[in-house]
Amino acid sequence: MSNWIEICPLDDIPRLGSRIVQRKSGGDIAIFRTADDTVFALHDKCPHKGGPLSQGLVHGQRVTCPLHGWNIGLADGQALAPDVGGCDRFAVQVDENRMVRISV
Amino acid sequence: MSKPRLVLIGNGMAGVRTIEELLKIAPDHYEITIFGAEPHPNYNRILLSPVLAGEMSLPEIVLNELDWYREHGITLHTGKQIVRIDRARRMVVADDGSEAPYDRLLVATGSTPFVLPIPGNDLPGVIGYRDIKDTDEMIEAARHKHAVVIGGGLLGLEAANGLKLRGMDVTVVHLGPWLLERQLDEVAGKMLQKSLEDKGLKFLLQKQTEALLPGEGGRVGSVRFKDGMQIAADLVVMAAGIRPNYALAEQSGIYCNRGIVVNDTMQTYDPKIYAVGECVSHRGIAYGLVAPLFEQAKVAANHLAGFGISRYVGSVTSTKLKVTGIDLFSAGDFMGGEATDDILLNDPAGGVYKKLVLKNNRLVGAVLYGDTSEGPWYFQLIKDERDVHDIRDQLIFGQSLVGDAGHQGESRAASMPDSAEVCGCNGVCKGTIVKAIKEQGLFSLDEVKKHTKAASSCGSCSGLVEQILSSTIGGAYTPAASDKKPICACTEHSHDKVRQSIRDEHLTTKEMVFAEMGWLTANGCDKCRPAINYYLISTWPHEAKDDPQSRLINERSHANIQKDGTYSVVPRMWGGLTTPAELRAIADVAEKFQVPTVKVTGGQRIDLLGIKKADLPAVWADLNAAGMVSGHAYGKSIRTVKTCVGAEHCRFGTQLAMDLGVKLEKMLFDMYAPHKVKLAVSGCPRNCAEAGIKDVGVIGVDSGYELYVGGNGGIKTEVAQFLCKVKTDEEVMEYGGAFLQLYREEARYLERTCHWLERVGLDYVKGLMVDDADNRRALHERLLAALKDAKDPWQTSREGAALKQFIPIAVDA
Ligand code: SRM
Ligand SMILES: Cc1cc2nc3c(=O)[nH]c(=O)nc-3n(C[C@H](O)[C@H](O)[C@H](O)COP(=O)(O)OP(=O)(O)OC[C@H]3O[C@@H](n4cnc5c(N)ncnc54)[C@H](O)[C@@H]3O)c2cc1C
Ligand code: SF4
Ligand code: FES
């Protein structure tokens, strides 16, 4: 059922950084890589005022939004308290050849 | 494997705060059990005063709801008093016989009101003022007529004020010569008494209470004094002081001496047992205010969590009286004595009194009455032990002679109505902040920032928010001394400490810093990472590698992000000069990439706004081709050198302002700094380049140049200070460069030159780079060495791996 698409080799995403994935159907996806090579994907739209999370600073399993500094959990897409709000998540796989896929 | 068990005795402010701090840094370390003698969850004891005054209700002051304990898996026993600590079996025993074993024990039993040892002190209607039960009893007793409060300290006056507001006839009896003699000097004490008398309170000073006599029905009826005088009393509140509650600990053999004796790690003589709060004696001092207790809580949590790196070394405290309409603040050693000087401002008609106590040119104490707006600033100066000789003459008038921008010059929080806007960036008004402080139990500026967003953007209202905090929660608010303030929640270490370790230990990567300094998070956060990256590359230029992922987006993508996620691009125009060819290239780029807005900036150059990120490399390529480079409008870096037309054209010009401006800007190209850096060069004192509000301002005069430093035209307008006069262009470059290198080496990240100068003083800087010629040259050379081979970041980001961030990955979906 789920539709896995190949994105890029893991090393094309900087550690503690991200890349933007553009869908034809619209709605960019931000794909993040943590220090220990865990990969997460979120809708590239901050729950606060829609800032591009892909442009944020990644630390631990969080990203700080570039516009007003909300912290969003990469695993659950939820804003860190006391802020409230969330954005969509996408499932991610990294295969044995270090290729990243996401399910959209 | 089962977890070690932690038991807390005392479900009060210091104990539960320790648990909160512990859960933050080691959420799953312990199986936690809490015993509290009171039948309530942890509440904000200091707000009992507004409850008594009828300004708040009990449910509003609860800090941790029962759900909080449940969510964190904490077993809570309310209404159970621990009567024995069995240290041999490592168990505590409660009054109902229940037992709980521990691996670590935390004692936070607070204190009890001191009850005068006089006849009648156990009559019904005689109460201490400590908890919800006492408060309820006082509210209940308010249907009677006469109340007598024994003790004219903070607690006594807040009790008296509350009872008066509940309609009682209140007399405050005080042994001392004036009110609050431990917090105020005589003049301020008398002014306070006058204002309270205007509110209808009565005072009997220097009176010694001899006995409490029963009235009708066995309840207390009157108070008799040593001099024979007797007054009616249906309620007597004992507020003559508190006594640390350490009997339990002492009985179980833990060493006590007017409090449970702890070391700097908050450990008692039994290594398994820690203690925090009012029950503790640390270096001989038992604190009775929340702020120091919270510092203790943080240290205890750090050790309970097994990090073992923090120490409590004592606190300077400040106090505020929480009586609505009365503004009073004191901090430190305000009585003074030998070897201290006083600076006084006394305006009885205006109701303002200020006294500052100085010792060896350092502020050691302050008393403010009537206008406490500068309280937080003085308190900070006391804690920082800053040498104030250079600002001595203005000290008493306060820091905010020049208002901050963006809140109508308002600087006194107390006089602002609830509806007044405090934070202009996020539209937060005073009432919202007060409400959040009370209802959510906020104690620090950071917490207010998080919960209300006030002061979380440009920060210019931080001072106002601090005042609101201190008037709402009294002495519970304490700013940390800024040289010890941790950078962020990831660490205990301050900016200064981190930078020093980077230098002393020769650390060259963030990973080394994290490991060497025991970072609490795996890879920092958006506050510490950019700071560390700056300290690394400024301390070890050409050796430490810049880490783009530790830079915020503007610096990472060499352009300013806009609200819609597009970017703006500002090419450098050296000294504000341009050419027809450059203008043509800009026009071509604007057309080719359909740039929606082209604007002349306040920095004498042109901004192309609304460019898509993916287009940035191509835009830069075109600009580079026309000889233009990055203007760093995005960086904590050299921004602009503004110039006027100068002697090149102007009939008044004395010096070649444009020429010198261009030379300065070229010298500083690609210079990163703790914050942004702006310069200006004017050709004569008419100063058309506004050199008076720049980090470094240069004004041409007939005999050479006047140099000014530390100006700021932003959030807090600050006029630059005169540094010195020099003769030649070369000297301007050397002095200006040396000043900026000193700033780069010593200021804390995100400190503009004006804030740094305010902290260290201009004389300090002059000593190092005006008076000391060798050091000046050395500084200048270090700057030039660091900037050697600087490359245009637009050029380098268009090449190799750096280019990837600009290219989106397109997928078929
Ligand atoms: C483009 C420009 C406004 C304009 O259209 O003129 C501008 C735009 C921004 N300024 Fe500014 N400032 C601009 C001149 C100024 C000036 C005037 C000057 O430089 O002569 C000042 C006051 C002078 C000073 O800095 O002392 C100024 C004081 C600020 C401040 C307050 C700094 C302070 O320490 O108080 C900030 C906030 C900050 O830096 O934290 C700021 C921050 C910003 C930011 C970068 C806000 C941000 O973080 O996104 C703005 C980017 C807007 C955008 O969407 O691209 N801007 N800003 C000006 C660019 C000048 C240039 O050519 O580089
Ligand atoms: C009316 C009032 C106004 C105040 N205003 C201010 C102010 O403006 N600013 C400020 O900084 N401070 C203020 N304070 C002081 C502040 O409230 C205390 O410093 C702080 O609460 C002390 O914290 P603690 O945890 O040490 O003690 P507490 O908060 O008193 O907690 C101790 C708890 O331990 C319980 N306990 C004791 N023995 C046992 C036992 N054997 N078994 C189980 N439980 C036990 C007690 O019942 C109590 O609940 C005020 C205090 C009062 C009463
Ligand atoms: S350009 Fe400067 S003054 Fe204008 S809105 Fe942005 S930060 Fe504020
Ligand atoms: S849009 Fe993300 S914090 Fe405002």
> pLDDT per residue over B554-581, tens digit each?
999 999 999 999 999 999 999 999 999 9
Q: Is residue B640 predicted with pLDDT exceeding 60?
A: yes
CB pair distance less than 8 Å for B813 and A17: no
Average pLDDT over residues B305-310: 88
CB pair distance less than 8 Å for A52 and B522: no
Contact B138, B127 (CB under 8 A): yes
Closest to B9 in 3D by CA, of B26, B284, B18:
B18
- Cβ neighbours of residue B602 under 8 Å, at least 6 residues apart? none
Closest chain B residue to A50, measured at CA: B564
Q: Is residue B181 predicted with pLDDT exceeding 60?
A: yes
- Cβ neighbours of residue B185 under 8 Å, at least 6 residues apart? B334, B335, B355, B367
Q: What pLDDT score does A2 carry?
A: 66
Region of residue B314 (left: phi > 0; alpha: psi -120 to 50; beta: else): left
> Does A54 reside within a domain?
yes
Residue among B451, B524, B813 minimizing CB distance to A25: B813
> Does A21 reside within a domain?
yes
- Cis status, amide bond into A82, omega within 30 of 0: yes
Range of the domain at A90: 4-94
From B338-347, B500-509, B579-588, the region with the lowest mean pLDDT: B338-347
Residue B110 CA to ligand 2 centre (angstroms): 5
- The model's pTM: 0.79
From B387-391, B604-608, B639-643, the region with the lowest mean pLDDT: B387-391
CB pair distance less than 8 Å for A7 and B809: yes
Residue among A52, A60, A68 minimizing CB distance to B522: A60
CB pair distance less than 8 Å for B529 and A59: yes
Q: Calculate what percentage of chain B has a pLDDT beyond 70.
A: 97
> Which of B440, B453, B526, B797 to mutate to test binding with chain A, by most A CBs within 10 Å of its CB?
B526
Q: Calculate what percentage of chain B has a pLDDT beyond 90.
A: 72
Q: What pLDDT score does B402 carry?
A: 42
List the residue whose alpha carbon is closest to atom 28 of ligand 1: B714
Phi, psi of B114 (to 5 degrees): -80, 125
Consecutive H or E run containing B168? none
Strand order in the sheet with B606-611: B560-561, B567-569, B606-611, B597-600
> pLDDT per residue over B193-219, tens digit each?
999 999 999 999 999 999 999 998 889
> pLDDT per residue over B89-111, tens digit each?
999 999 999 999 999 999 999 99
- Calpha distance B601→B337 (Å, rounded): 56
Q: What pLDDT score does B464 carry?
A: 82
> pLDDT per residue over B364-384, tens digit each?
999 988 888 788 788 888 888
Hey, which residues 7-46 in chain A have their CB within 8 Å of chain B?
A: 7-8, 12, 14-17, 19-25, 28, 31, 35-36
Closest chain B residue to A80, measured at CA: B450
Return the best residue to mutate from B109, B251, B281 for the ligand 2 pocket (most ligand atoms within 8 A of CB).
B109
Residues of B in contact with A52 (CB under 8 A): 561, 565
Question: Which ligand number lies closest to the CA of residue A68?
Answer: 4
Closest to B416 in 3D by CA, of B425, B404, B407:
B407
> pLDDT per residue over B76-87, tens digit each?
999 999 999 999
- Calpha distance B474→B320 (Å, rounded): 5
CB pair distance less than 8 Å for B549 and A104: no
Question: Which ligand number lies closest to the CA of residue B560?
Answer: 1
Q: Is residue B772 predicted with pLDDT exceeding 90?
A: yes
pLDDT grade, residue B187 (50/70/90)?
Answer: confident
Complex ipTM: 0.83
- Cβ neighbours of residue B402 under 8 Å, at least 6 residues apart? B716, B717, B718, B719
- Calpha distance B731→B577 (Å, rounded): 23
Strands B104-107 and A89-94: unpaired
pLDDT grade, residue B480 (50/70/90)?
Answer: low
Residues of B near A (CB-CB distance < 8 A)?
450-451, 456-457, 521-526, 529-530, 548-553, 557, 561, 563, 565, 613, 804-805, 808-813
Radius of gyration of chain A (CA): 13
Residues with Cβ within 6 A of ligand 4? Answer: A 46, 48-51, 65, 67-70
Q: What pLDDT score does B552 carry?
A: 96
What average pLDDT is seen over chain B? 92
Burial (0-12, 13-18, 19+ Cβ within 10 Å), B213: middle
> Does A90 reside within a domain?
yes
Q: What pLDDT score does B197 carry?
A: 95
Residue B455 CA to ligand 4 centre (angstroms): 16
Provide the 10 A C-beta neighbour count for residue B598. Answer: 14
CB pair distance less than 8 Å for B552 and A57: yes
Q: How far is CA B747 from CA B203, B431, B574, B751, B765, in A?
A: 52, 36, 26, 6, 11
| CATH of residue A67 | 2.102.10.10
- Cβ neighbours of residue B462 under 8 Å, at least 6 residues apart? B445, B455
> Which of A45, A57, A62, A67 to mutate to test binding with chain B, by most B CBs within 10 Å of its CB?
A57
Total structural domains within chain A: 1
Phi, psi of B687 (to 5 degrees): 55, 55
Closest to B739 in 3D by CA, of B679, B799, B661, B653:
B679
Residue A20 CA to ligand 4 centre (angstroms): 17
Q: What pLDDT score does A104 carry?
A: 83
Q: What pLDDT score does B481 carry?
A: 66
Question: Which ligand number lies closest to the CA of residue B570?
Answer: 1
Residue among B551, B808, B812 minimizing CB distance to A20: B808
End-to-end, the C-alpha distance of chain A in Å comes to 10
Query: Which structure tokens are listed for B484?
Result: 């010890």
Radius of gyration of chain B (CA): 31
Residue among A5, A22, A82 minimizing CB distance to B808: A22
| Residue corresponding to tokens 């020099």 | B726
CA atoms within 13 A on the CB side of B486: 17
Q: Pick B490 or B473 by higher pLDDT.
A: B490
Provide the 10 A C-beta neighbour count for residue B172. Answer: 28
Closest to B359 in 3D by CA, of B380, B378, B334:
B334
Residue B572 CA to ligand 1 centre (angstroms): 15
pLDDT grade, residue B632 (50/70/90)?
Answer: very high
The dihedral of CA B324, B327, B332, B338: what is its sign?
Answer: negative
- Calpha distance B38→B80 (Å, rounded): 7
Residue among A12, A16, A66 minimizing CB distance to B553: A66
Residue B463 CA to ligand 3 centre (angstroms): 21
Closest chain B residue to A15, measured at CA: B549
Residue type, B212: L
Residue among B521, B557, B811 minimizing CB distance to A60: B521
Contact B159, B130 (CB under 8 A): no
Average pLDDT over residues B722-739: 97
Q: Is residue B681 predicted with pLDDT exceeding 90?
A: yes
pLDDT grade, residue B229 (50/70/90)?
Answer: very high
**B129 to chain A, minimum CA–CA distance in Å?**
34
> Does A103 reside within a domain?
no
CB pair distance less than 8 Å for B809 and A82: no
> Does A102 reside within a domain?
no
CB pair distance less than 8 Å for B549 and A66: no
> Does A8 reside within a domain?
yes
Question: String of b and e for B250-281 (b: at least 16 CB within 10 Å)?
Answer: eebebebeebbbbeebbbbebeebbbbbbbbb
CB pair distance less than 8 Å for B812 and A25: no
Provide the 10 A C-beta neighbour count for residue B325. Answer: 9
Closest chain B residue to A24, measured at CA: B813
The dihedral of CA B478, B482, B488, B494: what is its sign?
Answer: negative
CA atoms within 13 A on the CB side of B210: 8
Contact B570, B616 (CB under 8 A): no
Ligand 1 pocket check for B715: Cβ under 6 Å: yes
> Does A101 reside within a domain?
no
DSSP B526-549: TTHHHHHHHHHHHHSTTTSPP-GG
Ligand 1 pocket check for B603: Cβ under 6 Å: yes
Q: Which residues in chain A come in under a pLDDT of 50?
A: none
Return the best residue to mutate from A43, A44, A68, A84 for the ligand 4 pocket (most ligand atoms within 8 A of CB).
A68
CB pair distance less than 8 Å for A14 and B456: no
CA atoms within 13 A on the CB side of B356: 23
Phi, psi of B208 (to 5 degrees): -105, 125
Contact B304, B274 (CB under 8 A): yes
Chains A, B: CB pairs < 8 Å: 93
CB pair distance less than 8 Å for B565 and A55: yes
